[in-house]
C-alpha cells in the first residue's frame, strides 16, 4: 500500500475516533450539566416546599399566640369555651387544652385528659421557655388510633412570667395532606425526618420507596455541621436534604426536609444548542480530515510518481520523469532521475577503450642490389635497388 493511502486511512480512522470521543465528551458534559441543573432545581423546590410548610404552621402559630396573649388564666368559663369551640372551627385540630405551670392539664376539649400530669414530657419543659412542637405520637380516637403532634405556646403575664400553656393537638393527616399536595404541584417526593433519621411524614408523589440512606445521612450531617441544603444522587434520582424545616423559632424541633426528583430532566436543557455543538464538531472534524488528505495527496503523490518512475527505469524501461512543482523534494527527485538517465545514455553510446590496435612490425631491411657488368651475377648489399637497363633509340640493345 502506498504511503499516501496509508496516511489517508490513518487520517480517516483518527477523524472517526475524534468524532466518537468528541460526541461522548459533549454528551457526558451535557448529562453532568443537566444533573447539576436538576440538583439546583431540587434545592430550589425544597426551599419552596419548606416555605409552604412554614406558612401553614405560621398560621397556626399566629392563632395559638393570639389565644395565649388574650387568655386569662383565672377566667375558667372563657377557657372552657375556647377549648371546646376551637376544634370545631378547624378540622386540623383534634383537641385543645390548657396546662398549668406545674404540668397538670386543667382544661381540655370536652373535658378530655383534664387532670393528666404531663410534667415529665419533653415538650412541656420546652414550652415553658417558648413555642414548642412535640414529636409525633399516637392517641386513641374512638375505636382507632390516630397520629398527632402537639403545638404548645406559653401564657405569660405582664412581668413575662409563665401562668400556663395552651396546647393545640394537630392531626398528622393534615400535615401529610399539605405535604402531598405541595409535592404533587412541585412534581417531587417529599419526606420529613427527625434527628434520628426516622421518617415522620412522607409524600411519594412521583415514585415509591423511602429516601435513600445517603439522603438521610446528608440530612443529619447538614443538621450537625451546617444549615445549607445538601444534594445527593442515588438510583437515578437526585435528592436535597434541607435542615431546620421549621426554622429556629420552634424549640425542640430539628425536623429536616428531604425532597427527591428524577436525576435527569424530562426535557433536555438547550437541546438545539447541544445538537448544534455536535454537528459543528462533526463538520469540523470532516473538514480538517479533508484538508489533511488533500495535503497528503498534493505533496506525497508526486514523490510516489517519481519513485515509481525510478523503479521502472531500474527494471530497464525507458520512462522519463514528470516535472512537479508541488514540493522541492518532488522537483529535485525528478531532476535527479533525469540526470541519471542522461549520463547512462552517454556512457552506453561511447566506443570501448579496450578495442584491439594493429601490432607494429619492424621495418623491412632494404636490400640494395648493385648492377654489374652483363654476364656477372648481382652482388647484394644492405640496400636493394632494382636497376632497369636504359633503352636506346634505334636498337633494342641494353646499355
For position 252, what pLDDT does the model report?
61
For position 264, what pLDDT does the model report?
67
Whether the Cβ atoms of residue 61 and residue 72 lie closer than 8 Å to each other:
no
Q: Residue 345 CA to chain centroid, in angstroms?
A: 68
Q: In whole angstroms, what is the distance from residue 223 CA to residue 200 CA?
A: 16
* Residue 164, strand partner residues: 155
Whether the Cβ atoms of residue 150 and residue 135 lie closer than 8 Å to each other:
no
Whether the Cβ atoms of residue 185 and residue 203 lie closer than 8 Å to each other:
no
Pairing of strands 162-171, 144-156: antiparallel
For position 35, what pLDDT does the model report?
75
User: 127 in the Ramachandran plot: left (φ > 0), alpha (ψ -120 to 50) or beta?
Assistant: alpha
Query: Contacts by 350-357 with C-beta closer than 8 Å and gap 24+?
Result: none
* Domains of the chain, first to last: 40-59+175-262 (3.30.450.20), 60-171 (3.30.450.20), 275-340 (no CATH)
Whether the Cβ atoms of residue 78 and residue 72 lie closer than 8 Å to each other:
yes
* Residue 261, strand partner residues: 238
Per-residue pLDDT of the chain (399 residues; tens, 9 = 90+): 677 777 888 888 998 999 999 888 888 888 777 777 777 888 888 889 988 988 888 888 888 988 888 888 888 889 999 899 988 888 889 999 999 999 999 999 988 889 999 999 988 998 998 888 888 899 888 788 899 999 999 999 888 889 999 999 999 999 999 999 999 998 899 999 888 888 889 999 888 888 888 888 877 776 554 445 555 666 678 888 888 888 766 766 778 889 988 876 655 656 677 788 888 889 998 999 888 888 877 777 777 777 777 777 677 676 666 666 666 776 677 777 777 777 776 777 766 555 445 555 555 555 444 444 555 555 554 444 444 455 545 444 443
For position 238, what pLDDT does the model report?
84
Over residues 101-149, the pLDDT tens digits come to 999 999 999 888 899 999 999 889 989 988 888 888 998 887 888 999 9
Residue found by looking up cell 637497363 in the block? 389
Amino acid at each position: 500500500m502506498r504511503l499516501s493511502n496509508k496516511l489517508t486511512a490513518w487520517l480517516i480512522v483518527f477523524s472517526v475516533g475524534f468524532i466518537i470521543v468528541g460526541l461522548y465528551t459533549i454528551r457526558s458534559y451535557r448529562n453532568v450539566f443537566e444533573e447539576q441543573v436538576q440538583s439546583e432545581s431540587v434545592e430550589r423546590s425544597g426551599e419552596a416546599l419548606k416555605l409552604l410548610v412554614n406558612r401553614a404552621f405560621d398560621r397556626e402559630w399566629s392563632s395559638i399566640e393570639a389565644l395565649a396573649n388574650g387568655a386569662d388564666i383565672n377566667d375558667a368559663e372563657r377557657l372552657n369555651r375556647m377549648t371546646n369551640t376551637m376544634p370545631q372551627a378547624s378540622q386540623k385540630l383534634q383537641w385543645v387544652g390548657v396546662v398549668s405551670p406545674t404540668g397538670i392539664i386543667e382544661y381540655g376539649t370536652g373535658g378530655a385528659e383534664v387532670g393528666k400530669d404531663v410534667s415529665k414530657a419533653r415538650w412541656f419543659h420546652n414550652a415553658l421557655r417558648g413555642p414548642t412542637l412535640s414529636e409525633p405520637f399516637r392517641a386513641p380516637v374512638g375505636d382507632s388510633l390516630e397520629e398527632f403532634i402537639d403545638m404548645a405556646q406559653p401564657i405569660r403575664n405582664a412581668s413575662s412570667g409563665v401562668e400556663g400553656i395552651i396546647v393545640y393537638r394537630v392531626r398528622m393527616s393534615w400535615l401529610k395532606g399539605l405535604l402531598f399536595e405541595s409535592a404533587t404541584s412541585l412534581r417531587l417526593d417529599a419526606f420529613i425526618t427527625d434527628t434520628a433519621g426516622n421518617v415522620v411524614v412522607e409524600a411519594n408523589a412521583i415514585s415509591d420507596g423511602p429516601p435513600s440512606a445517603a439522603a438521610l445521612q446528608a440530612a443529619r450531617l447538614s443538621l450537625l455541621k451546617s444549615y445549607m441544603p445538601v444534594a445527593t444522587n442515588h438510583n437515578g434520582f437526585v435528592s436535597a436534604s434541607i435542615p431546620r424545616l421549621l426554622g429556629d423559632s420552634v424549640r425542640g424541633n430539628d425536623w429536616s426536609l428531604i425532597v427527591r426528583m428524577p436525576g435527569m430532566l424530562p426535557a433536555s436543557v438547550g437541546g438545539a444548542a447541544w445538537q448544534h455543538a455536535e454537528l459543528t464538531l462533526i463538520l469540523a472534524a470532516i473538514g480538517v480530515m479533508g484538508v489533511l488528505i488533500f495535503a497528503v495527496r498534493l505533496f506525497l503523490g508526486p514523490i510516489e510518481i517519481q519513485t515509481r518512475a525510478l523503479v521502472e527505469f531500474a527494471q530497464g524501461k525507458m520512462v522519463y520523469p514528470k516535472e512537479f512543482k508541488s514540493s522541492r523534494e518532488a522537483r529535485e527527485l525528478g531532476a535527479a532521475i533525469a540526470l541519471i538517465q542522461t549520463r547512462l545514455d552517454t556512457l552506453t553510446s561511447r566506443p570501448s577503450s579496450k578495442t584491439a590496435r594493429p601490432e607494429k612490425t619492424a621495418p623491412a631491411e632494404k636490400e640494395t642490389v648493385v648492377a654489374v657488368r652483363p654476364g656477372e651475377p648481382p652482388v647484394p648489399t644492405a640496400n636493394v635497388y632494382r636497376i632497369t637497363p636504359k633503352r636506346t633509340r634505334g636498337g633494342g640493345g641494353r646499355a
